[in-house]
């Protein structure tokens, strides 16, 4: 059955519509990727982050900091309690992302944690062991 809204010289081209839709989706993915890259670069250029990344952390010190400041919510082994499990957190979060997460306090009920750069480097090193 013919669509009365189409004139006799108009035809549907489903292939062209799919191509246009794919181009729009790819365009949006590109925009999102650029935004993520800009945000990451902005965080990476933060002087505090740079300072943390230039320090070499120690697991033992990081464990002590974790037990004192984090274990109440994340459990003594990082398995989670009130806060989520931190097991293998470094496999899906970058060090820059972890620094921002820990220091920002933007995920309630987690408070801001303001450690000096060496302490943060130690904590990051410990998180790698979970």
Q: How many CB atoms lie within 10 A of CB 95?
A: 19
CA dihedral 102, 93, 86, 124 (to 10 degrees): -60
Structure confidence by residue, pLDDT tens digits, 21-64: 888 888 898 888 888 777 777 766 789 999 999 999 999 999 99
- Domains of the chain are 47-127 (1.10.760.10)
Q: Which of 11-15, 28-32, 35-39, 68-72 has the lowest mean pLDDT?
A: 11-15
* pLDDT for 55: 96
Number of residues assigned to the chain = 130
């Amino acid at each position: 059955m013919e669509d009365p809204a189409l004139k006799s010289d108009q035809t549907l081209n489903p292939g062209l519509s799919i191509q246009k839709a794919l181009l729009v989706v790819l365009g949006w993915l590109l925009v999102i990727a650029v935004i993520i890259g800009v945000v990451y670069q902005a965080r990476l250029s933060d002087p505090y982050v740079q300072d943390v990344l230039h320090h070499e952390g120690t697991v033992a010190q990081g464990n002590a900091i974790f037990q004192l400041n984090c274990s109440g919510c994340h459990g003594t082994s990082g398995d989670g309690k009130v806060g989520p499990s931190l097991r293998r957190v470094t496999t899906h979060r970058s060090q820059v992302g972890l620094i921002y997460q820990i220091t920002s306090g933007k995920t309630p009920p987690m408070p801001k944690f303001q450690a000096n750069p060496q302490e943060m480097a130690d904590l990051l090193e410990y998180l790698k062991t979970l």
